Amino acid sequence: MKWVLMYLKPLRARITLGTVIKIIGTLAELMIPFLLSYILEHVIHTNDVKKILFYGALMAACALIACLGNIIANRMAAKTTMIFSTQMRKDLFANTLHLSARSTDHFTIPSLESRITSDTYNVQNFIGMMQRMGIRAPILLLGGTLITMLMDQKLALVMLATLPLIFIVVYSISRMGVPLYSKVQQSVDGMVRVVREDAQGIRVIKALSKVDYENSRYDKANMTLRRNETKAGIIMGVVNPIMTLLMNMGIVAVIAVSAYFVSNKTSSATTVIAFMQYFTLISMAMMSLSRMFVMYTKCAASAKRISLVMECESELTLCPDNGKGDSSLHICFEKVSFSYLGKKNNLKDISFSLKKGQSLGIIGATGSGKSTLLRLLMRFYDANSGTVRIHGKDVRSYSPEELTAMFGVVFQNDFLYADSIEENIRFGRDLSKDEIVAAAKIAQAHDFISSFSDGYDHAVSAGGTNLSGGQRQRVLISRAIAGKPDILILDDSSSALDYKTDANLRRALSEALPESTIITVAQRVSSVKNCNLILVIEDGVIIGYGKHEELLERCLEYKEISDSQMGGAFLD
């Protein structure tokens, strides 16, 4: 919870002012029963109208001050809470985007989504409640207790006898709340995961008539959440009934004892009336505190989950370069091995090099390690052994900004967001309309974009669902090449293109980006046949290395792929 104070510190002036107003309003509320008792005991019997009106007006003023104080303080608390939660969500989202790929894998995307949404909501609610009830309830409790002690110590002790029992109950149950609500939030993660997967795969689900199956899968996640919420709710819900029982027992005890004192003329009826009012205020304060304890358990569980993301430090630290690289080589892998889980190598002893402006083709079966190789080049992960170099320098010696500025990338499952085609290509960069059009022409996208009535202003739906597969890929390629990258990576990005469009794209890229090193990952031999170097990967190992003609002679697997796809013939 320490990080919460960091966000509240800049708001301390607003919080302090709101606290002062809240205190004044609560103290005014505390004075009302005392004034009523004083009027009944010392003013009414005098029949002094002016005096009665004066104290009546004083009670009305206290009531007005209490009302206005609470309204103003609550409005200030709401404003403070919104400022706090806005900044918290902003920083949490920024930290989420800056997580390393390994950390993202560890947290999982659904869990990160629920931390940004439901967890921040729980923390926000508690901070707001603390400013509203966290100030008022203790003042009512302590102030009411102090005043009753001054009015009649014997009755006050009877009332106070219930408070230790209430504290023990609340404390004991609240200790169980944090792990219970942590489990609830984990169940939320599971439900979010199912919803996210089904939303992304809705077309496949319908095409394969698996709607009922996915409904049952969601029901399972939903019932798990229900069970965990029910368990937490039942246990935490015990607080209010037990508190109500103890407070009612206290009221009965006070009434019984006060009746005895009044009958013996050791106390007055006016004192008992004031006591009952104060006891009501104290009861309300205790109920508010119990609600705060329940909310605290949710907040503490959520705050812990948020802090894990906020305090997560990337394992991808800057490392000095050993100066042993060859600066004449643009990209170089030196005996690189890597494993995601540390058990089995996903890449083993990978070595190759490229000069600036050359092209690399990578081909292999699904799961062979092609995309993993690219992730190491862009330093999404660090190699377990060996070195990856760019311009002769270890990629670990580049700052993230320096490294990412070199790349233009199209991944297998890349995304388009709900905006115009132009903005999807621009992607927040300082690019002119002419540069965007030029990139689209290279990517073979200009013709179909121009066919829309609104051209580059054509609205793209989230995920690009209103475009065909080939159109989406060409827009994504346009985005990648618009910034004229030093290294262009096309990870299976032309799979939806016909052979002719694919051939035109490759020809246009070689002409438009002569100084860029282009890496193409593909399933089709025709997409890589003209590359300066082709790697054939199988189970994380390079089994073929060379140009197209060399591989046809030396690599049986490559020849089999070539023959099966094109019968040994290719389109230029």
- pLDDT one-digit tens code per residue, 86-115: 999 999 999 998 888 888 888 888 889 888
pLDDT of residue 572: 42
CATH classification of the domain holding 168? 1.20.1560.10
pLDDT of residue 570: 44
Query: Which of 256, 290, 310 is where one domain is finished?
Result: 310
Instruction: Report whether 449 contacts 515 (CB < 8 A).
Output: no
For range 68-77, the mean pLDDT: 92
Measured CA to CA in angstroms, residue 76 lies from 63, 214, 267, 280 at distances of 20, 46, 43, 27
**Residue 533 phi/psi, 5° resolution?**
-145, 135
Asked if 18 and 135 sit in the same domain, the reply is yes
Residue 325: partners with Cβ closer than 8 Å, 6 or more residues away:
332, 387, 389, 391, 392, 393, 394
pLDDT of residue 318: 87
Give the confidence band of 253 by pLDDT, cuts at 50, 70, 90.
Answer: confident
Structural domain that includes position 443: 415-482
Asked if 400 and 292 sit in the same domain, the reply is no
The number of beta carbons lying within 10 Å of the beta carbon of residue 75 is 12
Asked if 491 and 507 sit in the same domain, the reply is yes
Which helix (H) or strand (E) is 543 found in, with range?
strand 541-546
| Residue 571 pLDDT exceeds 50 | no
Give the confidence band of 295 by pLDDT, cuts at 50, 70, 90.
Answer: confident
Largest CA distance in the chain: 119
| Residue 47 pLDDT exceeds 50 | yes
Query: Which of 259, 287, 310 is where one domain is finished?
Result: 310
Measured CA to CA in angstroms, residue 21 lies from 135, 327, 368, 479 at distances of 10, 68, 66, 55
Average predicted confidence (pLDDT) for the chain: 86
Q: Cα 95 to chain center, whole Å?
A: 9
% pLDDT > 70, the chain: 98
pLDDT of residue 1: 64
With H, G, I as helix, E, B as strand and everything else as coil, classify residue 238.
Answer: coil
Q: Which among 129, 127, 93 is positioned nearest to 303, based on CA atoms?
A: 127
Asked if 468 and 504 sit in the same domain, the reply is no
CA–CA distance, 451 with 474 (Å, rounded to integer): 15
| Residue 422 pLDDT exceeds 60 | yes
Could you tell me how many residues make up the chain?
Answer: 572
Give the confidence band of 282 by pLDDT, cuts at 50, 70, 90.
Answer: confident
pLDDT of residue 457: 93
Asked if 341 and 204 sit in the same domain, the reply is no
pLDDT of residue 297: 82
Tokens found for residue 424: 């999807």
% pLDDT > 90, the chain: 34
- If one counts the domains in the chain, the total is 3
**Residue 244 phi/psi, 5° resolution?**
-60, -45
pLDDT of residue 331: 94
Instruction: Report whether 158 contacts 250 (CB < 8 A).
Output: yes
pLDDT of residue 377: 94
Give the confidence band of 134 by pLDDT, cuts at 50, 70, 90.
Answer: confident
For range 196-211, the mean pLDDT: 79
What is the DSSP annotation of 181-209?
Answer: HHHHHHHHHHHHHHHHHHHHTHHHHHHTT
With H, G, I as helix, E, B as strand and everything else as coil, classify residue 546.
Answer: strand
Asked if 357 and 397 sit in the same domain, the reply is yes
Asked if 303 and 193 sit in the same domain, the reply is yes
For range 27-38, the mean pLDDT: 85
With H, G, I as helix, E, B as strand and everything else as coil, classify residue 246.
Answer: helix
Give the confidence band of 362 by pLDDT, cuts at 50, 70, 90.
Answer: very high
Query: Which of 482, 504, 527 is where one domain is finished?
Result: 482
Asked if 347 and 446 sit in the same domain, the reply is no
Asked if 202 and 185 sit in the same domain, the reply is yes
CATH classification of the domain holding 526? 3.40.50.300
Asked if 202 and 273 sit in the same domain, the reply is yes
Asked if 15 and 107 sit in the same domain, the reply is yes
Pairing state of beta strands 533-538 and 541-546? antiparallel
Q: Could you give the dihedral angle defined by the CA atoms of residues 75, 80, 84 and 90, in that order, rounded to the nearest 10 degrees?
A: 70
For range 216-242, the mean pLDDT: 85
| Residue 38 pLDDT exceeds 60 | yes
- pLDDT one-digit tens code per residue, 474-495: 999 999 999 889 999 998 887 7
Asked if 171 and 297 sit in the same domain, the reply is yes
